[in-house]
Amino acid sequence: MTAHLPVPAAQYLRMSTEHQQYSTENQSRAISEYANAHGFTITCTYSDPAKSGLWLKNRPGLRQLLKDVTSGQTNYQAILVYDVSRWGRFQDADESAHYEFLCKSAGIPVHYCAEPFVNDGTMFSLIMKALKRAMAGEYSRELGDKVIAGQKHLARLGFKQGGSHAFGYRRMLVSSNGTQKMQLAFGERKSLASDRVVLVPGPDWEVEWVRRIFHMFTIERKSLRAIARELNSRHVPTSTGSVWDHTDVVRMIEHPRYIGSAVFYQHTGRLGSAPVRTQKKEWIVTPHAHQAIVDAATFAKAQEILQGMNIRKTDEQILQELKSVLTECGKLSPKIINKYSGLNVGLLRGRFGSIRSAYRLVGYGDGTVGDAPSIWILREDLLTRIQKIFPDEVSIVKDRNRRSLLKLKDGSSVAVFVANPTKRPKWFVKASENERGSLVLLARVGESRNTFKDFHVLPARAQTKCICLTDAWLKSGTRLSELPQFLRVAREMLTSASAGRGISAA
């Protein structure tokens, strides 16, 4: 009589930080017992230690398992998992079922070794799996509610809840009775559940700079950008060691921590969702939680100034102000906006994606000025369009004259010229002084003056001129058949420049 050979199987192990029941050792032991009892031999192991079961993207073990199974390149015929919750605590039970179905479709069934039912496709097993999947997802939701409730309670007592220190402060680890233990360095966390974290003033030079920032804003009435420039010129690093931006300055000036208040729950991002800002009435604010750096009167004055700035205005308030300008002047343009309102075109582009979008929202035709959009608007819209095509590779920066340039990830700059057609088949190109050393993206406006005729990546332009169809400079570059080719062509031209073939990049 011939003995049956054991069936090769893979085991999948996932341990979060819940409790010892789900340690990888306990899972592996239970799976091994199941394998011996049911004629399996484990030939392959996939593991996700200390990984949440909420989403797939952070679980390389399960992603590799699914990749191997769907590719057909496996040497096993079954997958053994401790229970339904180890497969995942997906918030959508259908997602968990989908991944199991992929395995089943490839002829490799999933076995849940610690469950009281057999995963055999019967009505009973289907109902039990659906129930277990829903319970697994609900467990995470309930656990999240409990964690948030605990954090809110500790925040009301004045303890800091997660995150690194802010500029001017440091995190101090204290015991449950309030005794200071040690100052936490960047990236360090408490090790005991009973320990707590409070804020204490940082180095004297940081504390003095905090007070100096508030003084520059409230007394000297410097702009947020001017303050950021001064900090950078003095080589003052942020709390993370990077350079200052005006948004870093405003986040400091508006935060109540500098008058000694602990603030928690300004943002929420439950169960892997994108963080969203909560309403102020939901914030947990605890006054006198730690030592203040700025006096209350100075802080109140700073908030009063901030309230009158554009950054505090809602989209609706900005659009209402733009409508008022339109009603008064009968038309809109960058010059009119700057002259007759407290707005600026950079703000409009940042809030609404482009100037034309803002125009459309206030009912100004289709966003055009007269029969065609202005060259300035076409250029700004083109910059925004390129940044959206290459969000991680290209950014928009300002030169010393406040003119926008494209900055590539390697630090190279690209000047963007929008060439306006003349009566003859020529296009007028105007280069600013700071753009004359940069690689050029030339966009020629079409005859309708509402769209672009074509795009060219060209070597640096040293002067303003009109170009024609046979222009030597136009022929020295590369014409793009479509705008998404821009980054590849620009990098190739910059590489040629570094090899000494006559193209310079700032």
Q: Is the pLDDT of residue 504 over 50?
A: no
Using the 3D structure, point to which of 350, 370, 390 is the last residue of a domain.
Answer: 370
Q: Is the pLDDT of residue 78 over 90?
A: yes
pLDDT tens digits, residue range 143-182? 777 777 887 888 888 888 877 788 999 998 988 777 888 8
Residue 152 within any structural domain of the chain: no
pLDDT tens digits, residue range 295-328? 999 999 998 888 777 666 778 888 888 888 888 8
Beta strand ranges found along 319-470 (DSSP E): 394-398, 404-408, 413-421, 426-429, 439-445, 452-458, 465-468
Q: Which one is predicted more confidently, 77 or 379?
A: 77
Q: What is the pTM of this model?
A: 0.50
What's the pLDDT score for residue 235? 93
What mean pLDDT comes out for the span 26-48? 92
Using the 3D structure, point to which of 272, 293, 310 is the last residue of a domain.
Answer: 310
Residue 71 within any structural domain of the chain: yes
Is residue 221 domain-shared with residue 268, that is, in the same domain? yes
What's the pLDDT score for residue 291? 92
CATH number where 12 lies: 3.40.50.1390
Is residue 189 domain-shared with residue 66, that is, in the same domain? no
Q: Is the pLDDT of residue 499 over 50?
A: yes
Structural domains in the chain (count): 4
What's the pLDDT score for residue 466? 65
Is residue 384 domain-shared with residue 331, that is, in the same domain? no
Using the 3D structure, point to which of 354, 370, 386 is the last residue of a domain.
Answer: 370
Segments forming the whole domain that contains residue 280 = 169-310
Is residue 295 domain-shared with residue 317, that is, in the same domain? no
Is residue 183 domain-shared with residue 304, that is, in the same domain? yes
What's the pLDDT score for residue 502? 42
Residue 504 within any structural domain of the chain: no
Residue 122 within any structural domain of the chain: yes
Q: Is the pLDDT of residue 94 over 90?
A: no
Scanning the structure block, which residue is given the tokens 């935060």? 255
The C-alpha atoms of residue 222 and residue 231 are separated, in whole angstroms, by: 12
What mean pLDDT comes out for the span 339-355? 74
Q: How far is CA 174 from the centre of its chain?
A: 33
- At 116, phi and psi to the nearest 5? -80, 10
Q: What is the DSSP string of 214-276?
A: HHHHHTS---HHHHHHHHHHTT---TTS----HHHHHHHHH-GGGGT-EEE-SEE-GGGPPPE
Torsion region of 417: left, alpha or beta (phi above 0 gives left; psi -120 to 50 gives alpha): beta
Is residue 19 domain-shared with residue 64, that is, in the same domain? yes
**Where is average pLDDT lowest: 84-98, 117-131, 417-431?**
417-431
CATH number where 473 lies: 3.40.210
pLDDT tens digits, residue range 422-457? 655 556 555 554 445 568 888 887 776 667 888 888
Q: Is the dihedral of CA 470, 476, 477, 479 positive or negative?
A: positive
Could you count the other beta carbons within 10 Å of the beta carbon of residue 19? 8
The rounded mean pLDDT for the chain is 81
What's the pLDDT score for residue 11? 95
Is residue 282 domain-shared with residue 177, that is, in the same domain? yes
DSSP secondary-structure letter at 286? E
Is residue 303 domain-shared with residue 345, that is, in the same domain? no
Is residue 434 domain-shared with residue 486, that is, in the same domain? yes
Residue 486 within any structural domain of the chain: yes
Is residue 486 domain-shared with residue 424, that is, in the same domain? yes
Is residue 481 domain-shared with residue 386, that is, in the same domain? yes
What mean pLDDT comes out for the span 4-10? 88
Q: Is the pLDDT of residue 501 over 60?
A: no
Is residue 94 domain-shared with residue 177, that is, in the same domain? no
| Reported confidence tier of residue 216, pLDDT bands at 50, 70, 90 | very high
CATH number where 280 lies: 3.90.1750.20
